[in-house]
Amino acid sequence: MSQITTQLDDSGAVDPTLPPDPSRRFWVASACAVGGVAGVATAVPFVSSFAPSEKARAAGAPVEVDVSNIAPGQMITVEWRGKPVWIMHRTPEQLEHLGDNDAELADPDSQRPGYTPEYAVNEYRSRKPELFVCVGICTHLGCSPSPAFTPGPQPGLPSDWEGGFFCPCHGSYFDLAGRVFKNKPAPDNLEVPPYVFSADGTRITIGVDENNKA
């Protein structure tokens, strides 16, 4: 089994690789993180890890990822089923403010079906509060949002912005749990894929969980 990872911080460089599915042509914008609005993008470098063969990838082979070295405030991108999957290590400060904008969110409790597994129906949308895993594709028309982790007023974002993701294609934005704001083109929160942690908590396997067996 293999994986493809990407190290992300506020100043990282990027060398993205296009996914095999051309219908997801926009997701490379996430890896470059240069789309759309000045001042909100964060570079997302794309780094190779244990990648399945093309045939296995097309069949949806699980992807194992080492998460032990993701520093607080950083995010990596891995490829699963031809889609970008983001794994972010949220800081204590980011977790503290995660609920500040709940009243402005379309589905703050992740009750809409199809985008959040049962184990992620919580305020963090994750198995562990600090580690957030989601598919980096906007639920509107399949563009890939850009990380916009810096809080505060910025072009295209609310004045009380606490950090999250901005989709440059049609202006949807999501908080640091991938929850979409109200009255935006995206109809739903970002998808949380099936995943499990290893026994020691240092790795996750994307593509398997209690209801999805390898």
- The contacts of residue 122 (CB under 8 Å, 6+ apart) are 110
Question: Do 69 and 44 share a structural domain?
Answer: no
CATH label of the domain that carries residue 120: 2.102.10.10
Question: Do 201 and 111 share a structural domain?
Answer: yes
Per-residue pLDDT tens over the stretch 70-116: 999 999 999 999 999 999 999 999 999 999 989 999 999 999 988 99
Residue 140 designated active-site: no
> What residues make up the domain containing 39?
20-51
Q: In this structure, is residue 202 part of a structural domain?
A: yes
Per-residue pLDDT tens over the stretch 183-200: 999 999 999 999 999 999
Q: In what order do the strands lie in the sheet containing 146-148?
A: 146-148, 164-166, 173-175
